[in-house]
Amino acid sequence: DRRNKAIKKLQTWADANGRDLEISYTLPTTTRGLASSGLAVLRNAVTNGARVDVVNLMTFDYYDNAAHNMANDTETAAQGLHDQLAKLYPAKTDAQLWSMIGVTEMPGVDDFGPAETFTLANATQVYNWAVAKGINTLSFWALQRDNGGCPGGPAADDCSGIQQNTWDFTRIFAPFTSGTTVPDNDFSVSATPASGTVAAGASATATVKTAVTKGQAEQVNLTVSGAPAGVTASLSPASVTAGGSSTLTLSTTQAAVSGTYRISVTGTSPSGSHATAYTLTVTGGTGSQCTKAAWASGTIYTGGQEVSYKGHNWKAKWWTTGEEPGTTGEWGVWQDLGAC
């Protein structure tokens, strides 16, 4: 209610000052339209006189344990939203209602798992449907997943989990906004070995390799994340020319907490970014084991849920997935509850 009142004030100011302003609400959906919580947001906007230009559906992560054709589910979800909007905005034409609708897909395997897999064939079907309906927005979450670096795997932040070429989903969706540009140069990142086990106090190493996959070699800056408390991660060198290699060193202390951790190495160049994972298992650590469930990047958390990560307990302030505790700042989604 407070948000919609603020939007109304901002729109009034924008109208008075000749400023263009578009409001888009991005909301989770069922396969038949918005659930009651999302619909309540729009009803409240109407009550407060706040104009909503776009309702963008996140057509994934249904978590209903049902069989899914993700393209068909996108169409029924959007049709359900269209019918809900028709009741909220009875003066709008059918075309105007469709032009208020946006769709955001998740390429490949979503957070629920393989039962909810958005395929390249699904993407083509959704693209053709979106053009025919004249919807406002067609996108996906997120660009760094548009590659086949982990076929047959679970949902990940840096790959789709299906067999595909890099940028396949981008190429299918790009013409929706007349976009045809894909990176002229591109590269890949891999780690060898991809996993290792160390006793607390020892170190593990891996070779991080980059390779040119398209165009010319670019400078690639490497960063590492996901190291738990008691584990220090470093890269030498931290920047290479595509085609070069770096050494990942994971040094542990006796105070490290025993367990298995997913360490992510990300390479960033002017053309984009790619990542690879290294699985580190620590044994014999003396660190205090947190009792809260460990944070997992592919899990959805809602406000009030608590997790453990890097020796601290954290509480989610609102819905989130994939946001690493300790990286979102004071005003971010995760509240630091202190050391375990």
What is the DSSP-derived secondary structure letter of residue 311?
T
CA distances from 326 to 192, 253, 295, 312, 334 (A): 28, 21, 11, 9, 7
Q: Are 253 and 229 in contact (CB under 8 A)?
A: no
Residues 6+ apart with CB under 8 A from 197: 204, 280, 281, 282, 283
Q: Estimate to the nearest angstrom the gap between the alpha carbon of 144 and the chain centroid.
A: 9
| C-alpha to C-alpha distance for 1 and 330, rounded to whole angstroms | 24
Fold of 186-283: Immunoglobulin-like (2.60.40)
- Spatial contact of 283 and 196, defined as CB atoms under 8 Å apart: no
Beta-sheet pairing, 54-58 with 101-105: parallel
Give a three-class secondary structure readout of 249-295.
EEEECCCCCCEEEEEEEEEEECCEEEEEEEEEEEECCCCCCCCCCEC
- Domain ranges, ordered by start, for the chain: 2-177, 186-283, 300-339
Measuring CA to CA, how many Å separate 283 from each of 196, 203, 253? 11, 12, 11
Tokens of 271: 């053309």
Residues in Cβ contact with 15 at an 8 Å cutoff, skipping those fewer than 6 apart: none
Q: What is the pLDDT of residue 291?
A: 78
Predicted local confidence at residue 232, as pLDDT: 94
What single-letter amino acid sits at 57? L
List the chain pLDDT tens, one digit each, 340 residues. Answer: 999 999 999 999 999 988 899 999 999 999 999 999 999 999 999 999 999 999 999 999 998 989 899 999 999 999 999 999 999 999 999 999 999 999 999 999 998 999 999 999 999 999 999 999 999 999 999 999 999 988 887 778 889 999 998 899 999 999 898 655 556 788 889 999 999 999 999 999 999 999 998 889 999 999 998 788 789 999 999 999 999 999 999 999 998 888 788 788 989 998 888 888 888 998 988 876 677 888 998 889 988 899 988 878 899 988 898 889 988 776 788 988 876 6
Among 93, 20, 8, residue whose Cα is nearest residue 46: 8
Assign domain 2-177 to its CATH architecture: Alpha-Beta Barrel (3.20)
* CATH class of the domain at 300-339: mainly beta
Residue pair 240/222 in contact (Cβ under 8 Å)? The answer is yes
Per-residue pLDDT at 225: 83
Q: Looking at residue 298, what is its pLDDT?
A: 85
pLDDT of 237 reads 97
